[in-house]
Structure 1
């Protein structure tokens, strides 16, 4: 009973533990249940439940005694909930730093993604802000938190139309046409991968085109991507690093990567 109670208490940190497991699988190619039990101080059953959940989200493949990394292609696109559990502390730090860049009364664009979603949570109280987004999740967040219509303060939110992707982005010609008729002070864009060779990239071809439209309509472009995205490349590049005015990332980015990125983006901001 004592062990069960301990596991239940530590289950409050299940999302963080699963994110750490997923990150270790990506880094090492595989993990063993026995090693995870020792590392996290939880029961064998708790670890197996974690692996079951991560496997359902498409983040790893369970094998006898542990789990291995999936042989992901550059076109693999995890769902919103699967990505939301990864690098949560880094995303929150990035969101806090990025929110400080948003001016009162400004017009900003937020691309779809879990890091931009974390940023959106910090923008609901920014006075007289206009937000344009192709993220259904972000639009729903503002709808839940905004003050009553007609209030002098709070954000005005515009959700583009379009076709829905697995990550709850709205993309395609309808979204692209709506975005091209607008002008933003800032565009905050997330990405699947960021690298010198591939720039900012995504597994979804249509989402790449919509992100290009967001970038083209903005006076300044801010990439929000944690350290785990560095060196990854999705199927479609939607911007070179030289198109990024500011990249907001976290302290987990290696010094060598910081030095390389700083040579290409105009400003590197470590949260």
Structure 2
């Protein structure tokens, strides 16, 4: 729903922007233009003002939480309802990459969880994960005596707000194993910073995952493009498959396709999609 931005004072607009940054960790200029009903230039002036006051940090295409807040991340439940149609499309396309009998690693996050939900019937699959929700999902499948339920390996570690197990124990376990295919989500993606997370420990654990994977697939809806979080865990050159939805603008899709092994654009029904 579009707010009547033309009737808002600058202070009110900036309050709305700041609330969105604190809730989501990042905002995109294009989305704010649509939401507030004002020009691109007006949004950029508002972001400049918030950046000068130290409330946000500007990045390509938008802004992220200021350094003091950039390590904060919404919990798993808070993120699970966002971009649900795009995440479902991404998960369907990503799950199609999995071959029976392979060893798959799945990181934390709601998009990765959506991928896991589509792997429960892949024959002879072994899944390594540091995600408590993914582990619960696969344990439930096994409890239902589903003969095709994947074998589950849980890393151990210390849980974060996003229900990821991280830290030295998780990194040690991950570093001792080798997987055929890794699925990771990302809080933000951009050409310079690559794939990023607002949580330092989670980024480190993601780096351990990447180091032990034969192939890496990043699953991220189009709203993550242009967002930079605190800590990077993979460059775009390390990504074999980047799976996103077709809400990604053409110019950004072209840039991304040149930077990763293969770009997969999953069609979905929703605002901003191409089909």
Whole-Å separation in 2 of the counterparts to 1:28 and 1:219: 39
- Which SS does the other structure have where 1:263 is aligned? helix
Are 1:267 and 2:262 counterparts? yes
Whole-Å separation in 2 of the counterparts to 1:117 and 1:173: 23
Q: 1:127 aligns with which of 110, 123, 127?
A: 123
Are 1:245 and 2:240 counterparts? yes
Distance 1:148 1:30, change over 3 A: closer
Q: 1:78 aligns with which of 74, 77, 92?
A: 74
Distance apart, 1:81 and its partner CA: 1.0
Distance apart, 1:146 and its partner CA: 2.2
Q: 2:220 aligns with which of 202, 221, 225?
A: 225
Segments of 5+ residues of structure 1 without an aligned counterpart are 1-21, 36-68
Are 1:103 and 2:99 counterparts? yes
Runs of 4 or more, structure 1, over 6 Å off, are none
Distance apart, 1:147 and its partner CA: 5.5
Whole-Å separation in 2 of the counterparts to 1:29 and 1:159: 43
**TM-score (structure 1 length as normaliser):** 0.74
- What residue number does 2:173 align with? 178
Are 1:93 and 2:97 counterparts? no
- Which SS does the other structure have where 1:222 is aligned? strand
8 Å CA contact 1:124, 1:146 repeated in 2: no
Whole-Å separation in 2 of the counterparts to 1:147 and 1:126: 16
Whole-Å separation in 2 of the counterparts to 1:267 and 1:172: 31
Whole-Å separation in 2 of the counterparts to 1:268 and 1:82: 28
Whole-Å separation in 2 of the counterparts to 1:78 and 1:152: 35
8 Å CA contact 2:103, 2:127 repeated in 1: yes
Distance apart, 1:82 and its partner CA: 1.2
Whole-Å separation in 1 of the counterparts to 2:35 and 2:264: 33
Whole-Å separation in 1 of the counterparts to 2:148 and 2:227: 40
Segments of 5+ residues of structure 2 without an aligned counterpart are 1-22, 38-62, 267-275
Distance apart, 1:29 and its partner CA: 7.3
Whole-Å separation in 2 of the counterparts to 1:207 and 1:219: 20
Whole-Å separation in 2 of the counterparts to 1:202 and 1:148: 34
8 Å CA contact 1:192, 1:229 repeated in 2: yes
Are 1:146 and 2:150 counterparts? no
Whole-Å separation in 2 of the counterparts to 1:252 and 1:268: 13
Distance apart, 1:127 and its partner CA: 0.7
Whole-Å separation in 2 of the counterparts to 1:75 and 1:199: 17
Q: 1:254 aligns with which of 242, 249, 270?
A: 249
8 Å CA contact 1:147, 1:154 repeated in 2: no
**TM-score (structure 2 length as normaliser):** 0.73
Whole-Å separation in 2 of the counterparts to 1:70 and 1:221: 26
**1:83-107 Cα distance to aligned partner (Å, 9 max, x none):** 1111000000000001110010100
**1:27-53 Cα distance to aligned partner (Å, 9 max, x none):** 217968xx9xxxxxxxxxxxxxxxxxx
8 Å CA contact 2:141, 2:149 repeated in 1: no
